[in-house]
Structure 1
Amino acid sequence: MTANESSRPEWQNVVSPDTDRCIDPAALAAIDQSASEIFALYTSAHRRAVIRYLAANLDTDETITARELATEVTACLTDTAPENVSGDDRRSVYVGLYQLHLDKLEAANVITRTEEGITTTPTTATVATVLALVETLCNTSKSATPMDGDAA
């Protein structure tokens, strides 16, 4: 148990399922959105796949294009390798990302979009860790399968 854990009540120790370590309270405090706004991000399989992919594969100084991200998200959603993603499937996911999901993720400060592409923010890893924790607690798969009542 760390010094931070011992000074907090037991119920406040949020444990990351991947590391068995507590999530840094300062990182949680840095999230400007309410719990409802963060949980709204998790209602879409597309946004969950984006959060997972970016947190696992992109450093804060790296950029990915929307097309590359659409390919990776499509691969995740269709359980196929990125090189086997069809153009029609990628286009469909790209349109959804472009018209809806990336705006919501950017408004929540999970991503930043520039002319060069999409980058992560310091919030990305925390939101991904909370997502993994919620999925673990809900006994759901870590794949991008839609949750009951999956919304856009």
Structure 2
Amino acid sequence: MKKWILICAMLGAAAQTHAVVGSWSKQTAHYPIYFNDGYAEMPFNAPTSMPTLTSFVTSVSYQWTGYGNGNTSRVVQICYSKKYSTTLERCIEITSAPQGVTHNFDGLDASGKFLIRHRISGGTYPAISSALDTVTVMHQ
């Protein structure tokens, strides 16, 4: 009986380490893209009240909308950089999924910055869009 209680307690503790404690979400309007094969990066900053290295990403959900300039190709990425850094630590391509959830940033500091980068080719320029992209960071 003691073994079962110990196993249940261990499983409960393991489950709690993956529990979501909080989240933050931001929407950002598209920046113009001025030339063929150009790009725009929409930033999503954690709230300034979130302290560094106390909460860690458990998942990131996103939603992006394309530019309506008649482009013939596009690449969309979601990227991460540390709170006070301009260096991108990690980027993943999300071109084929305009909305989704990723675990590629799990364990990173949730006070960092995410961005969605759109690179387009073809169509007319400047490419101007009133669309919004959204990032939601779940953290523990």
Do both proteins adopt the same fold according to a TM-score greater than 0.5, normalized to the shorter chain?
no
Q: What TM-score, normalized by structure 2, do the two folds share?
A: 0.25
Computing the radius of gyration from Cα coordinates, the structure with the larger value is 2
Q: What TM-score, normalized by structure 1, do the two folds share?
A: 0.23
Q: Relative contact order: is structure 1 or structure 2 higher (C-alpha 8 Å, sep ≥ 6)? A: 2
More strand as a share of residues: 2
